[in-house]
Structure 1
Amino acid sequence: MYDTGLRHCKKDEFACSSSRCVSLRFRCDGTDDCGDGSDEASCQNCTADFFLCERTGSCVARAKLCDGRPDCPDGQDEGADACPSGQHPAPHTCSISEFSCGDGQCMPHSWRCDHSPDCADARDEDDCDQNECLVNNGGCSHLCVDQPMGFLCDCPAGMRLVHDSQCEEIDMCLDSDVCNQLCVHVNGTFSCDCHEGYLMSPRTGECKAKGDVAQLVLSSSEGVRRVNTAGMEYREMAAHLLGPGPMAALTANRTVYWARPGQGSIYRISMDGKPLEPVLLLKGHGAVLGLAVDWIHELLYWTNADTHSIDVARLDVSAQRLLIGGLAMPTGVAVEPLLGFLFWAEGGSSPRIERAGLDGEGRLPLITSAIWNPVAISLDMPRRLLYWVDSGMRTISRVGFDGQHRKTVVESNGYLDRPFGLAVFEGHVYWSEQDTHSICSADKHNGSLFRVILPNIASPGGLVLIHPVLQPKGPAVCGNNGGVCLYECEPDLFSGTSSPSFTCIPPKGSSGDDVDDTVVSHTLPGPALSDTTSAGILSLIVVLSVLLAGVVLWWWREECRPSRTLDLQDFSLKESQDPLIQAPARGMEVCPVKDTLLKLDLDHY
């Protein structure tokens, strides 16, 4: 079923933008059946060697039909109508946490033996008197508890169960969302701090960027414009670049990149001085849905819905290449070069969010369930969290860079029904909304403090925030081995080899024996915020003497003494049932904060 906003459309119907449902046979037939032309939008004339995806109007090579991988967003090219009799898709392998039905369909292991058939052949309710924990541990990541009928997954102390079968560590800082950036949780007390380049507001505890007010650049059908985050100084940048295309920026030279929707052309725009003519960088590269700039290695990444790939080029466009192929419907893309991470989102029949190295190697799925149509992603680098906006579920959610600590932070209140762009800065999340023609913001922790920054924007599109703190300089992870170059990390992505890579370059005049000295080991972060906690503790040690810190910690232990064992029932929320605001665990005492620590104003959380 497809939700049009007012009613549900059937599987064989097309969801018009006007909320009307029409038969898929009317899609791309040359007649406006929706009344608003949406059933004829973006349609292509497919030749005999191509197959028409009726729901989107795109063309897929017939060689890709029934190859086991959906190329149409709704998987139509792998359906019974598209595949000739006797031809079947390639077998699909279920994950360790899934159960394989007789027809190859995958079901969560937790649905097995629950007295409700979920497989078409009811295979998930067969042989339920056996010990399911003996096979792949029942799909449980940690503890599997056999029951007289079925089984249950459980977690050790200090962890909680998510999505019925996976355990993740409990992070009280992330669960409480008291702190804006750095957080230290000791004996029930939270202490907050800010990264370099930010100052803490004494009134709200929010980390505010030093220097000028950040600029929010947006695309629309009226051109590329900018406004500051306060909603003031609304100005035009490029009146001739029309359309709600994706955007990215290089803060160092105040340059913005914009992609023309549907044409695959990427432009460069300067923010300095008088409005200048945009520079055409790339032309004819398919349907570009997402852009991201690696400011350390000066690379531009983009998603290409036509080639089902993520591509990369130098910012001077001296070289370019396809980096990751075989994707279903890639949409948003983001990059964190200091940690060596590339992130992207996919829609279509198997929506997901994944992570890889900057060279496209070492892919890791972060979100694969309870996700419908992620249209844009953005990074909160100080907290190492990825945010995404889902136009199907009408929500904004977040997850750690390691795929843990998922939480929904904003639900639709009428201003999140057809989102397009997304950005995160300081304590807020920003998004563009096409149904209400507006640019909105809300608190990044829980969706409070909602406001409309700009109303009456014609077809608002991509967003990008401009401020120096968003692209800090520093040693970058060079490749997938976790090494950091002492001198320079050179991307070797365009040499024509099949395996792109990053290489540490020794200084000029050094001998070959010195090459090993150009790399130092660097351990990438595990669970989100585990290293920020260490950074917060270190900052306290710098501020306080070792003796004073010891006295404070001794006082905490004597005064509070909370139980170290947390009730797992307090954290047993499923991945698809995460609350907008998570309450503190029962029995968790909050100790008074001494005058030597920052007293937080929690009224806005």
Structure 2
Amino acid sequence: MGHLGMVILIQLLIFSSISGTQFKPALLTSAQSQFKCGNNKRIPVKWVCDGDRDCEDGSDEVRCSPLQCKKDEFACPGGRCLSLSLRCDGTDDCGDGSDEASCQNCTANSFLCEQAGNCVVRDKLCDGRLDCPHGQDEGADLCPSGWTTPPHNCLRSEFRCGDGRCVPHSWRCDHSPDCADQSDEDNCDQNECRVNNGGCSHICLDQPMGFLCDCPAGQKLVHDLQCEDIDLCLDTDVCSQGCFHANGTMSCDCNDGYVMNPSTGECNAKGDVAQLVFSTSEGVQLVNTSGMDYRLIDAQLLGPGPLAAFTENHTLYWARPRQGSIYRISMDGNPQTPVLLLKGQGAVLGLAVDWIHQLLYWTNADTHSVNVAHLDCSAQRVLVGGLARPTGLALDPLLGLLFWAESGRSSSIQRAGLDGQERLPLITTAIWNPVAISLDIPRRLLYWVDSGLRTISRVDFHGHHRKIVVESNGYLDRPFGLTVFEGRVYWSEQTTHSLCSTDKHNGSLFRTIRLNISSPGSLVLVHPVLQPKGPAVCGNNVCPFDCVPDLFSETSSPSFTCIPPTRGSNDVITHTLPVLSDTTYSGLVSLIVVLCPVVLIVLLAVLALWWWRDEFRPSRTPTLQDLSLKESQDPLIQAPARDPEIGSVKDTV
């Protein structure tokens, strides 16, 4: 054949391989136009990839392109498209039960999203916002003809229909009308990338029909439109806490107070076994993470109210459901009467303790606010108001951060400083009813449990690297409380009356810790390592002294003050809480101000010494040895990177 024949043969092989990756039938006989099954049985080629298993081994349906059903249809795993009206109707139409899986029994005042199997409050129907994942609640079949929605400010990632509704931009020109007036399928031969970059955060690629979003090198596409940096540590999820990636290798490390398990690589807390404290209709109870050492802490605090713990003084805080009265109880084991701290605060759904500044935070669904008080509740105030229905609450006082979840018409998870300033939304899409949140502080990740979607998910403190950790597994029908510790995530479940846990990375290794619990409610994990001491963010600086909160003044905005031991008037530095990325700069400025006089004195001393030696030493003729360069040390050795969030040596997460 020669070289030319060999080249042609290689090209044919490459073409054949590439064609195979396009999900085309590979065993088609050109002479008879038939497909050969794995057992050599032949069937008509038109039967291939039709959604029915005609070969006994199913080989005619193995290498087929993914089924593309319309938005008003449900895709069965076997390759069939069903009308959404058959979803969750009590009949197995797919044949494998998939069209009846994960279905909820919606109440009379709610509506079933047939594609996802979730329930939506009927007040959300035809309100101009897509509450069903595929927009069924805003479809023409449900909304009256001639109905027009109030104008909305559509997001950058959304397309405005002719009637003012907002639909995801990725639904434009997808051959399936999503707007009532079908305006999302008009003018599809135009370059969508010319209008708002197609909604893409970075690169927009126009296609013959529609468009695609793309990302620069080192980033990945999230939710079809947004790009975020690739983080191999979070993407691979192999480390329990610290993760370091360099030169293609990855190493794990543990924070202070933890030790690495040599067999599992998990970071385990030093000291005693951690205790899970949970509220029930029979009182506040306790069990350790292994399911042993169960006991009743207090039989007077009845109901699944929110809980918070202050580990240093063995104190628990609990709020009575619906009434909102907040109590304090000791965990020392001696029977004590709960101390009433605040009475009639309304629907308190979340509690959290700031163990650094000794403050108590809570959410109030009746007043739509996040509130703060001293631990003895001698003073209190509203920090954040005008919320929808705030539920879960969590704090990281070392970074000066406050997190809360909102359910209702605009469900979200948000972040602010401990003074309620510098608000930042972290999660605003694909979230239904977040009932509880918890922090994995060593990895700087926030976890939340969504009782509407029946999932447990996580995201980092900046709203990036979102991931679903646990999906509905029969123990997420009515989740309530949530906490994270070591390598596991724990939650309470009201339908199965249980406490459960799984691996915090991927939801594996599921186990029930305790069953037959009467109305399990909030959940808090108690261990000293979860409330570490250390310099905390105070204003724009890390405060090595006392960081004193000034939150309750009626004449000034909330703030935090760093007070040195001398408490001199010239030494007091007061700032409002910062955005994380500003911390390093402010800390560096303060460091320069302190060190400048010292550096100047040392420099003058060196110059004086040099002048004295040059003035009084005897002169001599330079030799060849004098002219040779002395071996110098590498001036480019880098110091440990400083974390722009807290201004200290960085622990890569």
TM-score (norm. length: structure 2): 0.66
SS where residue 175 of structure 1 aligns?
helix
Deviations 1:426-484 (A, max 9, x none): 001110011111111111111111111111100000000111111111121124xx422
State the partner residue of 1:496: 554
Structure 1 pair 183–387 and aligned structure 2 pair: CA distance change class (3 A): same
Structure 1 pair 308–88 and aligned structure 2 pair: CA distance change class (3 A): farther
Asked if 1:485 is matched to 2:567, the reply is no
Asked if 1:238 is matched to 2:305, the reply is no
- Deviation of residue 523 (structure 1)? 8.4
Please show how residues 100-499 of structure 1 align to structure 2 within 5 Å.
Answer: 100-479=160-539, 482-497=540-555, 499=557
Whichever residue aligns with residue 391 of structure 1, its letter is: S
- How far apart are the structure 2 equivalents of 1:191 and 1:356? 32
- Deviation of residue 357 (structure 1)? 1.3
Contact 1:377 1:387 (C-alpha < 8 Å) held by counterparts: yes
SS where residue 326 of structure 1 aligns?
coil
Please show how residues 46-65 of structure 1 align to structure 2 within 5 Å.
Answer: none
Whichever residue aligns with residue 501 of structure 1, its letter is: S
Contact 1:484 1:519 (C-alpha < 8 Å) held by counterparts: no
- Deviation of residue 363 (structure 1)? 1.5
State the partner residue of 1:33: none
State the partner residue of 1:505: 563
Whichever residue aligns with residue 485 of structure 1, its letter is: C
Further displaced range: 326-335 or 456-465:
326-335
Q: Aligned residues: percent identity?
A: 72
- How far apart are the structure 2 equivalents of 1:189 and 1:284? 56
Contact 1:310 1:330 (C-alpha < 8 Å) held by counterparts: yes
State the partner residue of 1:97: 157
Structure 1 pair 509–267 and aligned structure 2 pair: CA distance change class (3 A): closer
- How far apart are the structure 1 equivalents of 2:288 and 2:554? 42
- Deviation of residue 522 (structure 1)? 9.1
Deviations 1:326-358 (A, max 9, x none): 211211111111111111111112221111111
SS where residue 312 of structure 2 aligns?
helix
Contact 1:485 1:520 (C-alpha < 8 Å) held by counterparts: no
- How far apart are the structure 1 equivalents of 2:224 and 2:359? 40
State the partner residue of 1:62: none
Larger Rg: 2
Structure 1 pair 429–157 and aligned structure 2 pair: CA distance change class (3 A): same
- Deviation of residue 525 (structure 1)? 6.1
TM-score (norm. length: structure 1): 0.71
SS where residue 271 of structure 2 aligns?
coil
Structure 1 pair 414–114 and aligned structure 2 pair: CA distance change class (3 A): same
SS where residue 133 of structure 1 aligns?
helix
Tell me: higher relative CO, structure 1 or 2? Use CA pairs within 8 A at least 6 residues apart.
1
Deviations 1:88-125 (A, max 9, x none): 99743222222223343222222222222222222322
Structure 2 gap segments, 5+ residues each: 1-83, 92-103, 111-120, 130-146, 583-632, 638-653
- Deviation of residue 506 (structure 1)? 4.3
Structure 1 pair 119–424 and aligned structure 2 pair: CA distance change class (3 A): same
- Deviation of residue 21 (structure 1)? 5.4
Deviations 1:6-64 (A, max 9, x none): 979xxxxxxxxxx7655449xxxxxxxxxxxxxxxxxxxxxxxxxxxx989xxxxxxxx
Contact 2:290 2:513 (C-alpha < 8 Å) held by counterparts: yes
- How far apart are the structure 2 equivalents of 1:505 and 1:68? 51
- Deviation of residue 131 (structure 1)? 2.6
Structure 1 pair 6–328 and aligned structure 2 pair: CA distance change class (3 A): farther
Structure 1 gap segments, 5+ residues each: 9-18, 26-53, 57-66, 70-86, 527-545, 551-605
- How far apart are the structure 1 equivalents of 2:238 and 2:427? 25
Structure 1 pair 197–135 and aligned structure 2 pair: CA distance change class (3 A): same
SS where residue 537 of structure 2 aligns?
coil
SS where residue 219 of structure 1 aligns?
strand
Whichever residue aligns with residue 284 of structure 2, its letter is: V
- Deviation of residue 136 (structure 1)? 2.5
SS where residue 477 of structure 1 aligns?
strand
